[in-house]
Amino acid sequence: MGQKRAQFLPYALPFIEQEEIDEVIGTLKSGWLSTGPKVREFEEKFQLLTGAKHAIAVNSCTAALFLALKARGIGAGDEVITTPLTFCATANTIIHTGAAPIFVDIDPATLNIDTEQIEAAITPHTKAIVPVHFAGQSCDMDRILTIAKKYDLFVLEDAAHALYTTYHDQPIGSIGDATAFSFYATKNIATGEGGMLTTNDDALAARMRRLALHGMSKGAWNRYGEKGTWYYEVEEPGYKMNMFDVQASLGLVQLSRLDDMQARREQMAKMYHDAFQKKAGLILPPVHQEGRHAWHLYVLQVDQAKAGITRDEMIDQLQKEYKIGTSVHFIPIHLHLYYKTTYNYSPDDFPHSLTYYERTLSLPLYPSMTDEDVQDVITAVLSILTEKKAGS
Ligand SMILES: Cc1ncc(COP(=O)(O)O)c(C=O)c1O
């Protein structure tokens, strides 16, 4: 048995340093807590990073997904195509608009939506495609945009994992009609909770911004700031999904360290790759050459037939014997109680998602991990496999 850790290694931790703390304190002392100058600055930096014409900061990626669909007018009677291999927010937000999610299985070679199967799922009710850039690698956007053009569909990218990802040389955020990012605590940059919408479409941007704040013609900064004026109108009944300045101050510092944090993620992913690539029973995360990988997740698959151990046993032993936390991304949507019963799905309706789910675990991968932490994970995974072989 490999060396055990004295301390538990969590599956994920945000990387908060003194700079973030100072920036947040500065904002707290500034007298402006709600949506104001820090949010605007964060949006501007995000526009530069993604190359998008507009960036609208909101309180989560879930809010961003919902707002984009609403702003496009998607609702009851409509259908929206997405992947079952995603977090529930992708599908829940479709349902919240009144539309129905239609799932298309993944391509096991990329773990992203299988673009060869999309056209077969299109009906006269289809209004949008929501591709998810799983784990930090881009979907085949050329193919998706071609299909969308042919059937006049809205393309909303779920880029919760894909800040820093490129498709060929183009940053995610400036490709589809709209893109939704997440700054949840475990994401590549974290504001605790938070999200961003990007688009190049002026009218869509204006509507998304308005819907994020009650449908008002003006936010607080434009009413209570030095140059503001008090009058506003409610142009349509909107929601309350705006980001506030404390979140944006965290985001600004995190964004300034993004290159370094990404370099570290890549380094750690390489350490895992080098250690696991020749090991029978392990399937490495696919890496395709169509752009830059953001390495949000390191998803390892355990092939029970060759490893002699199930994914669940691997997770259990890592946690209990080696004090290493892991996660699973994701329980495919069609297996969840609500979806299973409402839409009458059976597990093998999406066989590739099911097989992948049964084998996968996500290893810890975050910039504050040391090389020793990474080595502990490697040693633990390899020891568990070796012990199993010796014992079987
Ligand atoms: C693929 C995907 N989409 C959407 C979300 C929702 O993000 P948020 O928590 O910012 O609402 C997540 C969060 O984990 C996610 O992984």
Residues 345-368: tens digit of each pLDDT: 999 999 999 999 999 999 999 999
| Measured distance CA(392)–CA(388) in Å, rounded | 6
**Residue whose CA lies nearest to ligand 1 atom number 7:** 61
The verdict on the CB of residue 86 being under 6 Å from ligand 1 is yes
pLDDT-derived band at 389 (thresholds 50, 70, 90) equals low
In terms of Cβ atoms closer than 10 Å to its own Cβ (0-12, 13-18, 19+), residue 47 is middle
Q: Are 59 and 66 in contact (CB under 8 A)?
A: no
Spacing, Cα 87 to ligand 1 middle (Å): 6
Instruction: Give the model confidence (pLDDT) of 293-327 as tens digits.
Output: 999 999 999 999 999 999 999 999 999 999 999 99
| Measured distance CA(319)–CA(317) in Å, rounded | 5
Reply yes or no on whether 187 is catalytic.
Answer: yes
Tell me which residue has tokens 């675990």.
361
Q: Are 366 and 12 in contact (CB under 8 A)?
A: yes
pLDDT-derived band at 4 (thresholds 50, 70, 90) equals confident
**pTM above threshold 0.85:** yes
Spacing, Cα 91 to ligand 1 middle (Å): 11
Tokens at residue 171, please?
Answer: 């940053």
Mark out the alpha helices in the chain (DSSP H runs).
Answer: 18-30, 37-50, 61-71, 88-96, 118-121, 141-151, 202-212, 221-224, 245-256, 258-276, 304-307, 311-320, 337-343, 351-359, 371-391
The verdict on the CB of residue 61 being under 6 Å from ligand 1 is yes
Residue 10's nearest CA partner among 364, 360, 269, 361 is 364
**Residue whose CA lies nearest to ligand 1 atom number 9:** 184
| Measured distance CA(67)–CA(344) in Å, rounded | 28
| Measured distance CA(214)–CA(211) in Å, rounded | 6
Q: Are 202 and 193 in contact (CB under 8 A)?
A: no
CA distances from 306 to 110, 285, 299, 386 (A): 22, 17, 18, 12
Backbone angles phi, psi at 321, to 5 degrees: -95, -30
User: In the predicted model, is pLDDT for residue 1 greater than 60?
Assistant: no
The verdict on the CB of residue 82 being under 6 Å from ligand 1 is no
The verdict on the CB of residue 46 being under 6 Å from ligand 1 is no
The verdict on the CB of residue 182 being under 6 Å from ligand 1 is yes
Instruction: Please report the pLDDT score of residue 221 as a whole number.
Output: 73
Residue environment code for 223-254, b if the CB has 16+ CB neighbours within 10 A, otherwise e: eeeeeeeeebeeeeebbebbbbbbbbbbbbbb
pLDDT-derived band at 390 (thresholds 50, 70, 90) equals low
Among 11, 61, 193, name the best residue to mutate to test ligand 1's pocket (greatest count of ligand atoms within 8 A of Cβ).
61
pLDDT-derived band at 392 (thresholds 50, 70, 90) equals low
Residue 352's nearest CA partner among 332, 327, 366, 369 is 332
pLDDT-derived band at 288 (thresholds 50, 70, 90) equals confident
Residue tagged active-site, from 187, 278, 279, 340: 187
Q: Which residues pair with residue 101 across a beta bridge?
A: 80
Instruction: Please report the pLDDT score of residue 391 as a whole number.
Output: 64
CA distances from 57 to 20, 40, 197 (A): 18, 8, 6
